[in-house]
Amino acid sequence: MTTLSHTPATAPSDVALVTAEAVAKRYGNTTALAGIDISVAAGEILGLVGHNGAGKSTLMRVLAGREQPDAGSIRWQTGAGTATPGTAKSGTAKPGTEQPGVRMIYQELALCPDLTVAENIALSDSGTRGAGWNRRAERRVSRKLDEVFPGHGVSVLRRAGDLTMAQRQMVEIVRALCTPSLSLLILDEPTESLSINATRQLYEALRGLAAEGVGMVLISHRMQEVLAHADRIAVMKDGRVVQVVSAEETDEDALLAAMGGEVHADTATVRRVSAAGAPPEIDAPGTVARIDGGDVPFSVSPGEIVGLAGLAGHGQDELLRRLWSNARGVRVVRGRAYVPGDRQTSGIFSLWNVADNLTVSATRHLATAGVVPPGRRRRLAEEWVQRLNVKGGARAPITSLSGGNQQKVIVARAFATDAPLVLLDDPFRGVDVTTKNELYALMRVEAARGRSIVWYSTENGEMAHCDRVYVFRAGRVVSELAGDDITDERIIADSFGIDAETVQEDR
């Protein structure tokens, strides 16, 4: 991972935009927040870190006014003085309504897929109401996209559901930035789907907002980004803020220790030898060439972990979909399992509990004479919940879990089947380092048992876990890497068509 220098925008104001005092929140028997005291100043970027399920997103929903605390108060500094719209005792806030001037960019994107980009902006922008709203919305979002993400490639007339994950993330960010009189911006894992260039552009925009006095809360599992761009960092654990420290006075090791253990993502390369003489599960030379004109043969053998790397949106997800659908020209094994990149739209069944979500794809091999014994389904669910340490348990509603724990369930669903081929589309988006290590270990164990895994990730460092890596550029495979050639510098170089030594010098 590249170490980033700390680059705060300006010195934050001493004026607290919002102050939370003794804020508590429970969901049934689960304590999400256990007495939180925290504040955000005007012009400050406050980093918020913690493992999945620590309470970060719940706290932000309370600050934004989306949920009422069970106890404690939220005080806002307004032009006329101090207001308390989020006080649990007074109940003056309207539940489910965000505080004016406050916008939260959610980890689970909230665009309406059947509306255009401009129409999505118009839904939340009061400045686009009335006659001619559509033209005003189109101009407004076009200007903001060009301002924040030059070269974005997003048409404001396209349906949001037709955009890539990275493009939807950019639109979600821009929609928040179009908020009139923006005073507090909350960003929950804003860069998980963005390219390196788009991430840089976003942080440049955030520094500009901070200079204008906008307060911000940055939630991210990417510690180096938080250290580089936050002024202060608050660490959460088990529903409590356990530490607040200046970003200049801490480091990644100290933050991870405060979170509950000195845990680093294990990116050590793992080598395996494929079964000698076994036929390849996928053997489709020219498949990518028939898709996009490339000429690098693509194949996966039993027991291999094969990575798909390169700039986001350059054909990796298209290849996964073709393998999943057994498209024309692809020879692939019959049994396949697929982990989609968008867990909310294509991953979870929101009305089901954890056990039902986890075992739904394993029905065929659980059944006897077409009937699935309840005990067998229950044991399978409990086995995987314990194996991946899913917080909440098998009977919990899937929507009550944190994003990282939901992701564990979706990945477990794929590996709980008997499918010899598992396809993973950026499976670790928004999960903490502990969860990543658990899932890395799972992949290694399953590959050692002969399963094949094709894995796309937006983080080049994760490709070190692969036996081979295919690098994409402009919709085609441009190189195949193996062994010591699987490096961050080589992947970036092949992604841009430049020399790896040039990349090393630039760093």
Give the tens place of pLDDT for each residue, 289-314.
Answer: 223 334 677 888 888 999 999 887 78
The CATH architecture of the domain made up of 282-506 is 3-Layer(aba) Sandwich (3.40)
> How high is the pLDDT of residue 70?
93
Q: How far is CA 55 from the centre of its chain?
A: 16
The residue ranges of every structural domain in the chain are 1-101+183-193+213-262, 108-180, 282-506
How sure is the predictor about 507, in pLDDT bands with cuts at 50, 70 and 90?
low
pLDDT > 50? residue 483: yes
pLDDT > 80? residue 214: yes
pLDDT > 90? residue 228: yes
pLDDT > 70? residue 162: yes
- CA–CA–CA angle 110, 111, 115 (5° rounding): 155
How sure is the predictor about 233, in pLDDT bands with cuts at 50, 70 and 90?
very high
The CATH number of domain 1-101+183-193+213-262, selected from 3.30.360.10, 3.30.930.10, 3.40.50.1980, 3.40.50.300: 3.40.50.300
Region 344-363: mean pLDDT is: 86
pLDDT > 50? residue 151: yes
The count of other CB atoms within 10 Å of the CB of residue 416 is 22
How sure is the predictor about 329, in pLDDT bands with cuts at 50, 70 and 90?
confident
> How high is the pLDDT of residue 57?
87
The amino acid present at 23, given as its one-letter code, is V
> How high is the pLDDT of residue 39?
94
Whole-model pTM: value is 0.73
Q: What is the pLDDT of residues 109-138, one digit of tens each?
A: 788 889 999 998 888 765 566 667 788 888
Q: What is the pLDDT of residues 384-431, one digit of tens each?
A: 998 888 888 898 898 888 778 888 899 999 999 989 999 999 888 777
The reply to whether domains 1-101+183-193+213-262 and 282-506 share a CATH topology is: yes
List of residues 6+ apart from 75 with CB closer than 8 A:
18, 19, 21, 82, 83, 84, 86, 87
Question: Does 64 or 235 have the greater pLDDT score?
Answer: 235
pLDDT > 50? residue 438: yes
The amino acid present at 259, given as its one-letter code, is M
What is the rounded distance in angstroms from the CA atom of residue 312 to the CA atom of residue 472?
9
List of residues 6+ apart from 389 with CB closer than 8 A:
408, 438
Q: Which of 12-21, 87-96, 474-483 has the lowest mean pLDDT?
A: 87-96
Mean pLDDT is highest, among 153-167, 196-210, 374-388, 474-488, for: 196-210
| Tokens at 225, concatenated | 């980004």
